[in-house]
Amino acid sequence: MKILFPTKNYSHGQKNYLNLHFRNRLGVAAGLDKNGDYVDVLDSLGFGFIELGTTTPRQQSGNEKPRVFRYIHQEAVVNRLGFNNKGVDYLVSKIKNKKYDAVIGVNIGANKESTNDQRIEDYVFCFEKVYKYCDYVTVNISSPNTPELRKLHNPDELEKIFKRINEIKTINQTDIPVFLKISPDEGEETILKIVNIYETLKINGLIVSNTSIDKDILEGCSHDGGISGKPLFKKSNQLLKKIHELDKDIFLVGVGGVFTKEDYENKITLGASLVQIYTGFIFEGPAIVKKILSR
């Protein structure tokens, strides 16, 4: 039996971006609902937008367990999940006939066993499957838990992905926004190259940022994987600030270490139009939405 909760009304922060109406600027980051199983519940909590995934062309089990580690005192999580999900067809089956008040995005990735140009084809395959049933799509090249995935930050590889996606958009006469989720661990030269090709590749927004593998930000870290939560806040903010200073016209979604209303507002001050949470939701629970959005 499906239980629906009364939708919380946090609409005083309504915004229109990229021809989408956001009832507020706070969203759920990808990774919390990989398969679209909990959209009804997340929508009822009052988020302005929900990003599902990461989804891949084929179902995969992800990396070996244990693969998620909480650092309670630092309010951090280290994960090495590895894009565990039920595959893009399953996700589409969960969202294709449903209506939500929140904007719905789908985060797409490549299967672990895919290499070289097959990875490009994985993104294209997923995009073709999902674009009709969501409001925006995010290309995820920044997970640290799929070997060599972050090499796709290379402008030549990005050009391959977005050339194909833009061809599909043109053929099907759709203007669905496509975002790029980037790593906080990339060097300044790489970030500058991405900023320089942002408009040429018709990227509609950057999500800043994914998790970090920099163990220096988490005292006592004894696990490999992506670090999220409070230790990521400063590093993700530094990247957000840098990109906004390089080009104030780039549409930015800030994510990384948001636990409080002050954290949320800090991201917006640094240039984010929208803000996402993940680890804050894990530690604080559903009450975090009210804590951040209530006036």
Which residues form the catalytic set?
A: 143
Residue keyed to tokens 């629970």: 285
Contact between residue 239 and residue 208 where contact means Cβ atoms under 8 Å apart: yes
Contact between residue 207 and residue 108 where contact means Cβ atoms under 8 Å apart: no
Helix, strand, or coil (residue 111): coil
Helix, strand, or coil (residue 151): helix
Instruction: Classify residue 162 as exposed, middle or buried by CB count within 10 Å of its CB (0-12, 13-18, 19+).
Output: buried
Assign residue 5 a region: left if phi > 0, alpha if psi is -120 to 50, beta otherwise? beta
Instruction: Classify residue 70 as exposed, middle or buried by CB count within 10 Å of its CB (0-12, 13-18, 19+).
Output: middle
Minimal CA–CA distance to 178: which of 238, 223, 137?
137
Please give the radius of gyration of the chain, using alpha carbons only, rounded to the nearest integer: 18
Pairing of strands 103-108, 49-55: parallel
Tokens of 218: 């988490």
